[in-house]
Amino acid sequence: MSSAENLLQNKQLTDGLKQQRLDQLLARADIWQAANEHRRQRSGITTGYAGLDALLAGGGWPRGATTELLVDQAGIGELGLLLPALAELTRREQMVVLVNPPHIPYAPALASAGVQLEKLLILHPQGPRDSLWAMEQSLQSGCCGALLSWQERQPPADKDLRRLQVAAREGDCLHFHFRPQSCAASPSPASLRLQLASDGDQLALQLLKQLGGRTGQRLHLARAADLTRRDRPLH
């Protein structure tokens, strides 16, 4: 065998080893790949609103992914928007976890909407590190159907948002993360981003981002009743 053939064979072996190592690295669950996110998308969980389902790529809330809800004022109907999905998940005996809600949810209203209260868990960890740990563990547990989290005063780092996205995918869990509207201009790994605002007796929605689907659409929905005890803030 000539020296040129030896060099070619060695190069092929080296390239093969490099590709094998790259494939092993990309197969890790903690490596987030934007290019592959669309292929990973599962069919969604219906929102309970036919008009909204029609706008969403998976026909509903994306499973195993983070959905960001950008809202500046609590109590405009943002929690009511999620009620049909939460009620369905608790009927399936799946847990719904709330982390750092700004107000105590009003149990009678949740129960009348079909949410099984024994499947509802409220967590208020002490500090961002404990909050991140609680959210990550809940999302990837496999027994949590949905996790709702509210941004604390200190915005989460981008790497932490990616960790939560990965955890939601591992646990096949719906993750709804509430953030102020000022975050709309900041990049986010979330699969879906919706901007919410009050418009009279309706809730105005705008799709800012969704993987595998169109963005920019606007929709108005009837506002649900306030589902929080405004006289019982948690912060």
Which CATH number fits the domain that encloses residue 97? 3.40.50.300
Residue 36 covered by a domain: no
In this structure, the number of other CB atoms found within 10 A of the CB of residue 62 comes to 28
Query: Are 202 and 142 members of one domain?
Result: yes
Mean pLDDT value across the chain: 85
The residues with which 149 forms a beta bridge, in sequence order, are 99, 177
Name the residue among 125, 198, 187 with its Cα closest to residue 161: 187
Q: Are residues 68 and 129 in the same domain?
A: yes
Position 204 pLDDT exceeds 80: yes
pLDDT in tens, 48-94: 999 999 999 999 999 999 999 999 888 899 999 999 999 999 999 99
Which residues, including other chains, have CB under 8 Å from residue 132's CB and lie 6 or more apart?
156, 160, 163, 164
User: How many distinct structural domains can be found in the chain?
Assistant: 2
Q: In angstroms, rounded to a whole number, what is the distance separating the alpha carbons of residues 2 and 73?
A: 74
Among all chains, which residue has been given the structure tokens 């987030």?
32
- Tell whether pTM > 0.85: no
Choose between 154 and 141: higher pLDDT.
141
Question: Looking at the predicted structure, is the pLDDT value of residue 230 above 80?
Answer: no
Find the domain containing 1 and state its range: 1-31
In a domain, 173, yes or no: yes
Do 15 and 61 lie in one domain? The reply is no
Burial of 57 (0-12, 13-18, 19+ CB in 10 A): middle
Same structural domain for residues 9 and 46?
Answer: no
Does 67 reside within a domain?
yes
Least confident of 13-27, 147-161, 205-219: 13-27
**Dihedral pair phi/psi, residue 12, rounded to 5°:** -65, -40
Per-residue pLDDT of 149-197, as tens digits, reads 998 877 788 899 999 999 999 999 999 999 999 999 888 999 999 999 9
In a domain, 12, yes or no: yes
Residue (of 141, 145, 148, 144) closest to 176 by Cα position = 148
Q: Is the dihedral of CA 162, 164, 167, 173 positive or negative?
A: negative
pLDDT (0 to 100) of residue 64: 96
Q: Which two tokens stand for residue 112?
A: 């009348």
Q: Which of 224, 189, 215, 221 is nearest to 56 (CA)?
A: 215
In a domain, 212, yes or no: yes
Cα 74 from Cα 54, distance rounded (Å): 26
Neighbours of 146 (CB within 10 A): 26
Q: What share of the chain is helix, strand, coil (3-state, %, to 5)?
A: 40, 25, 35
Q: What is the pLDDT of residues 92-128, one digit of tens each?
A: 999 999 999 998 889 999 999 999 999 999 999 988 9
